[in-house]
Amino acid sequence: MNNKIALFSFISREIQRFTRVYVQSLFSPWINAVLYIFIFGYVVGSRIDSIAGIKYIAFVLPGILMMNIISASFQQTAFSLYFKRFAKYIEEYLVAPLSNFELLTGHIIGGVTRALFVGTGIYVIAILFHAASIVHPLWFFFYSVTVSIIFALVGVFIGLWADNFEQLNILTTFIIMPFTYLGGMFNSVSMLPEKIQWFMKVNPFFYFVDGLRFSMTGVQESNMIAGIGIITFCILGLGGLVWYLFKIGWRIRG
Amino acid sequence: MNALEIKNFTKKYENFVAVDNLSLEIKKGEFFGFLGANGAGKTTTIHCITGINTITDGSIKVFGIDVDKEYKKARTKVGLSPQEFNIDIFLTIEKILWYNGGLFNMKKEEREKRIEELLKILELETHRKKQFRQLSGGLKRRVMLARALMHDPDLLILDEPTAGVDVELRHELWEYLKKINAAGKTILLTSHYLEEVELLCNRIAIIDNGKIIAVGDKSEFVKDGKSLEKKYLELTQKTKSS
């Protein structure tokens, strides 16, 4: 059965969901990005010569971009799925002729689309601040999309698991924010004392931020093969897990 | 061909048996009343027909199509107006119908035409731009019915469709349901208003504690001048005492 229209309809509804609350979903991360770029790029950055041979703003920007891409894709799928369960309109999708795979795909594309909307906006802001560059466009696209997919999948899991609004925010507070900040968003590995450099190297967020930094500046501190391996493992592992949860109807089908 | 064929259907939630070995047939074109107290197993059965719940054991077929094995095809045949308002309350009536039509693979032109038809039939035209949350209880019920009818299903399942609806609107809905049933649509209705079931349905089944305790033509339930309500109470109390 050809379900192109159904899937397209699902995705357009997901897009409508976040554009309906554009102040929260789009303007808020863009305004935050302006503040980050201004403070870390100009106020603080003007007092720092360079890091790894590039201007501080060029070093920090990929981290700001990645943090927002991660947040946007995660929030889209987690909140969308949770609200569908909370208000019971998940049933509208369950009675429609959509497979579990299509339901999952629709959510993921919704999450990636929001992340790309947010990321594009921040990139345009960075251009206005003369802070943007892309050295390897294909790698830029690769890291933006694959990391969005990972956190859209994480969001799906949390959207299925959460029983209240507090639980929806647990991951952002305890994992996403601290691990991004500690994943080389503002500093290079060499700026840390040697004894704790290992912590940054085992933090997967370091590979996400550093990969995007490589695509934008050409500077790389992490092992690229390891980074791609981590991304592939996360997508396949999380994708398999949430597909299985959809298949057994965990917390959505009685 | 049967519109609905349920064979030895069981639904368990861990150790609790919600529906126990239920078998039931509804013929094409019938207006079928499915009665039972709260928690008897009506909504669970409906959820398993429509795909909201999974089936523990047995089989359910809609127009000969297995709802589990060929679920995509089966779901195009069924429209559900549920008991609860399971809807995105921030969407307008138009958008609710638009997206729902899309989920059932209706093309743009088809959707536009169908939306106009339904808004007119259910007298929702003047409210089309209103968000669901801004509507009165009666209007909300009409929107639920419109959504269930959007893809023009062959089997319409109405789970308490007139709950919270005023008398006038209830009568209007009854007239509309009679009309679409006369035009060939099979309808499965659950309701706590037994006079509604008595008025509309040709055949009736009563479920109690997950088991069918009576099924037959309406005439069998209302013979000897008894009302359906009296017969219903007799049957359900008999099973309680046994």
Report pLDDT for A1: 64
Q: By the CB < 8 Å criterion, does A2 face chain B?
A: yes
For A200-208, the CB contacts below 8 A with 24+ separation are A203/A179, A204/A179, A204/A230, A204/A234, A205/A66, A205/A70, A205/A179, A205/A180, A207/A231, A208/A66, A208/A70, A208/A143, A208/A147, A208/A183
Mean pLDDT of B38-45: 94
B100 occurs within a structural domain: yes
Percent of chain B with pLDDT over 90: 81
Report pLDDT for A175: 92
pLDDT band for position B235 (50/70/90)? confident
Q: Are B200 and B147 part of one and the same domain? A: no
Q: Other C-beta atoms within 10 Å of B238: how many?
A: 12
Whether residue B21 has pLDDT greater than 70: yes
Whether residue A198 has pLDDT greater than 70: yes
Report pLDDT for A20: 94
Across the interface, whether the CB atoms of A2 and B105 are under 8 A apart is answered yes
Across the interface, whether the CB atoms of A254 and B54 are under 8 A apart is answered yes
Measured CA to CA, the distance from residue B126 to residue B107 in angstroms comes to 24
Q: Are B71 and B92 part of one and the same domain? A: no
Across the interface, whether the CB atoms of A3 and B88 are under 8 A apart is answered no
Q: Confirm if A160 and A78 have CB atoms less than 8 A apart.
A: no
Across the interface, whether the CB atoms of A10 and B103 are under 8 A apart is answered yes
Q: What is the mean pLDDT of chain B?
A: 94
Q: Are B59 and B88 part of one and the same domain? A: no
Whether residue B179 has pLDDT greater than 90: yes
Whether residue A7 has pLDDT greater than 70: yes
Whether residue A43 has pLDDT greater than 90: no
Domain boundaries, chain A: 4-247
User: Which residues from B are below 8 Å from A1, CB to CB?
Assistant: 72-73
CATH of the domain at B67: 3.40.50.300
Boundary-marking domain end, from B136, B152, B168: B152
**Strand, helix or coil at B108?**
helix
User: Which residues from A are below 8 Å from B82, CB to CB?
Assistant: 91
Report pLDDT for A91: 96
B37 occurs within a structural domain: yes
User: Which residue in the block uniquely carries the two structure tokens 């209240």?
Assistant: A164
Q: Are B40 and B63 part of one and the same domain? A: yes
Across the interface, whether the CB atoms of A92 and B100 are under 8 A apart is answered yes
Report pLDDT for B77: 98
Across the interface, whether the CB atoms of A5 and B102 are under 8 A apart is answered yes
Q: Are B14 and B130 part of one and the same domain? A: no
Q: Are B95 and B67 part of one and the same domain? A: no
B111 occurs within a structural domain: yes
Q: Are B67 and B99 part of one and the same domain? A: no
Mean pLDDT of B96-106: 98
**Least confident residue range of A30-39, A116-125, B220-229:** B220-229
Interface probe with B: pick from A95, A101, A103, A107, most Cβ of B within 10 Å: A95
User: Which residues from A are below 8 Å from B88, CB to CB?
Assistant: 87, 89
User: Which residue in the block uniquely carries the two structure tokens 């269930």?
Assistant: B148
User: Which residues from B are below 8 Å from A89, CB to CB?
Assistant: 86-88
Mean pLDDT of A31-37: 94
B219 occurs within a structural domain: yes
For residue A98, give how far its alpha carbon lies from the nearest alpha carbon of chain B (Å): 7
Write out the two tokens for B107: 């093309």
Mean pLDDT of A188-214: 92
pLDDT band for position A131 (50/70/90)? confident
A87, A92, A97 ranked by CB distance to B76: nearest: A97
* Crossing angle of the two packed helices A56-86 and A28-36, in degrees rounded to 10: 160
Q: Are B57 and B110 part of one and the same domain? A: no
Across the interface, whether the CB atoms of A6 and B103 are under 8 A apart is answered yes
Across the interface, whether the CB atoms of A91 and B82 are under 8 A apart is answered yes
Domain count, chain B: 2
Query: Terminal CA-to-CA distance of chain B, rounded, Å?
Result: 36
Interface probe with A: pick from B14, B42, B52, B159, most Cβ of A within 10 Å: B52
B23 occurs within a structural domain: yes
Instruction: Give the closest residue to B49 by CA, choosing from B16, B75, B76.
Output: B75
Whether residue B240 has pLDDT greater than 80: no
Report pLDDT for B46: 97
pLDDT band for position B222 (50/70/90)? confident
Looking at per-residue pLDDT, the higher value among B104 and A51 belongs to B104
What is the domain range of residue B192? 1-77+155-160+183-242
Report pLDDT for B140: 94
Model ipTM over 0.90: yes
Report pLDDT for B242: 64
Q: Confirm if A254 and B13 have CB atoms less than 8 A apart.
A: yes
Give residue-wise pLDDT tens across range B145-157: 999 999 999 999 9
